[in-house]
């Protein structure tokens, strides 16, 4: 992967900050390779509501971020004055959560007189595997799947991207959470359904594979969620039997994985990609990993999957991409602000059509 060589003073010790949704994360990265510290704090308060409550997420970031910053510096064995730059997630995400991280980074950067750069965390997911696996073959197809995103992107190098497809409604992770709620399970739903699916029959219910036969590379999971709701209708409200839970979970997961793998391999065929880079919280799904590994092996392409800690929203990948930006000549923006949507971010990170 043609990423910048990190030789400037600014990239020597980069602090990463991630607060795009409900995880607060801080990392200290040395020269883009040595992770001196990496902390992630989950916000358990959302479990009782069955989903992320934006106002509560913002308040939790306000409480957690200063403490995580202090702990990260202690773990890295550095002082604030040792930091040479700050990279912070500024888009996309929950705007209140993003504002907390951006404001903290800008204030800290001003106090330490070091540069602050904004990072789009979708771009960071494209490169998260590089922290553990080094440079990626090019071109690559990146599949980013999380609670808010299902994206396919062609990656020809750092900041050389072509948007291939995205979800038209629910993201894959969002569908997992909604189906988990229908089944009377907790939040987040992905790990719970993945565990149940291991004991169920993937052919017990004939759920649709949305848009799998379409000529484009977009996704749609809203109809699949509706199909699950209709299948559960005759069985009444939760709690359900163990057999019904495991069979619905397995059949639903099979539909999601079939769709994600099918679209990803279609993207590989269309682009001639030499690698598939997987990222986002749903990348932790065991069946998705197994199926993608088999499909990539059959086609002779490399599958690059970060460890689970680097699949979720995390500050390590933010620090990495921030360091690459600084080395590549990106100038810190004193007017840096948060943007909730990818389209409104104003960042030249993903071209809609670079052909």
CATH T-level assignment (fold) for domain 135-308: Nucleotidyltransferase; domain 5 (3.30.420)
pLDDT number for residue 148: 86
Spatial contact of 210 and 223, defined as CB atoms under 8 Å apart: yes
- Pick out the residues of the known binding site: 121, 125, 144-148, 177, 190, 194, 285, 313
pLDDT number for residue 2: 57
pLDDT number for residue 350: 52
pLDDT number for residue 349: 47
- Pick out the residues of the known binding site for Fe cation: 121, 125, 313
Q: What is the pLDDT along the chain (355 residues), one digit of tens a residue?
A: 456 678 788 889 999 999 999 899 999 999 999 999 999 998 777 777 777 888 899 999 999 999 999 999 999 999 999 999 999 999 999 999 999 999 999 999 999 999 999 999 999 999 999 999 998 999 999 999 998 889 999 999 998 999 999 999 999 999 999 999 999 998 889 999 999 999 999 999 999 999 999 999 999 999 999 999 999 999 999 999 999 999 999 999 999 999 999 999 999 999 999 999 999 999 999 999 999 999 999 999 999 999 999 999 999 999 999 999 999 888 888 889 998 876 665 544 455 444 3
Query: What's the pTM value of the predicted model, to 2 decimals?
Result: 0.93
Q: Give φ, ψ of 315 to 5 degrees.
A: -80, -20
- Pick out the residues of the known binding site for substrate: 144-148, 177, 190, 194, 285
* Selection from 52, 64, 243 nearest residue 146 by Cα: 52
Neighbours of 170 (CB within 10 A): 22
Chain CA centroid to CA 123, Å:
9
Q: Which CATH class is domain 9-127+314-327?
A: alpha beta
- The full 3-state SS of the chain, as one line of letters, equals CCCCCCCCHHHCEEEEEECCCCEEEEEEEECCCEEEEEEEEECHHHHHHCCCCHHHHHHHHHHHHHHHHHHHHHHHCCCHHHCCEEEEEEECCCHHHHHHHHHHHHHHHHHHCCCEEEEEHHHHHHHCCHHHHCCCCCCEEEEEECCCCEEEEEEEECCEEEEEEEECCCCHHHHHHHHHHHCCCCCCHHHHHHHHHCCCCCCCCCCCCCCCCCCCCCECCHHHHHHHHHHHHHHCCCCCCHHHHHHHHHHHHHHHHHHHHHHHHHHHHHHCCCEEEEECHHHHCHHHHHHHHHHHHHHCCEEECCCHHHHCCCHHHHHHHHHHHHHCCCCCCCCCCCCCCCCCCCCCCCCCCCC
Residue span(s) of the chain under CATH 3.30.420.40 come to 9-127+314-327, 135-308
pLDDT number for residue 43: 77
Chain CA centroid to CA 224, Å:
22
């Amino acid at each position: 992967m043609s990423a910048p060589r990190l030789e400037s003073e600014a990239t020597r010790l980069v602090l990463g900050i991630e607060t795009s949704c409900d995880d607060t994360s801080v990392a200290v990265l040395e020269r883009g390779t040595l992770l001196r510290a990496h902390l992630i704090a989950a916000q358990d308060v959302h479990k009782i509501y069955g989903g992320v409550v934006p106002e509560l997420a913002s308040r939790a970031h306000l409480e957690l971020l200063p403490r995580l910053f202090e702990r990260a510096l202690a773990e890295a064995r550095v002082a604030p004055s040792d930091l040479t730059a700050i990279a912070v997630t500024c888009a996309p995400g929950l705007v209140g959560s993003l504002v907390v991280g951006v404001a903290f980074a800008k204030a800290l950067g001003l106090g330490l007189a070091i540069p602050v750069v904004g990072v789009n965390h979708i771009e960071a997911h494209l490169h998260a595997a590089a922290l553990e696996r080094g440079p990626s073959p090019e071109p690559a197809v990146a599949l980013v799947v999380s609670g808010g995103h299902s994206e396919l992107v062609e990656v020809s190098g750092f900041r050389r991207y072509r948007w291939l497809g995205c979800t038209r409604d629910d993201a894959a992770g969002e569908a997992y959470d909604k189906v988990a709620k229908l089944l009377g399970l907790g939040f987040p739903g992905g790990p719970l359904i993945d565990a149940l699916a291991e004991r169920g029959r993937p052919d017990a219910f004939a759920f649709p594979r949305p848009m799998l036969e379409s000529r484009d590379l977009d996704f749609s999971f809203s109809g699949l969620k509706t199909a699950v709701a209709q299948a559960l209708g005759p069985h009444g409200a939760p709690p359900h039997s163990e057999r019904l839970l495991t069979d619905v979970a397995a059949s639903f997961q099979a539909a999601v994985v079939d769709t994600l793998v099918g679209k990803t391999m279609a993207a590989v065929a269309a682009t001639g990609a030499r690698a598939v880079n997987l990222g986002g919280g749903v990348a932790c799904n065991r069946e998705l990993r197994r199926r993608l590994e088999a499909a990539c092996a059959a086609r002779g392409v490399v599958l690059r999957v970060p460890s689970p800690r680097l699949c979720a929203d995390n500050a390590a990948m933010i620090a990495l991409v921030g360091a690459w930006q600084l080395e590549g000549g990106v100038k810190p923006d004193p007017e840096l602000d948060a943007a909730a949507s990818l389209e409104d971010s104003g960042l030249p990170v993903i071209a809609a059509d670079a052909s």
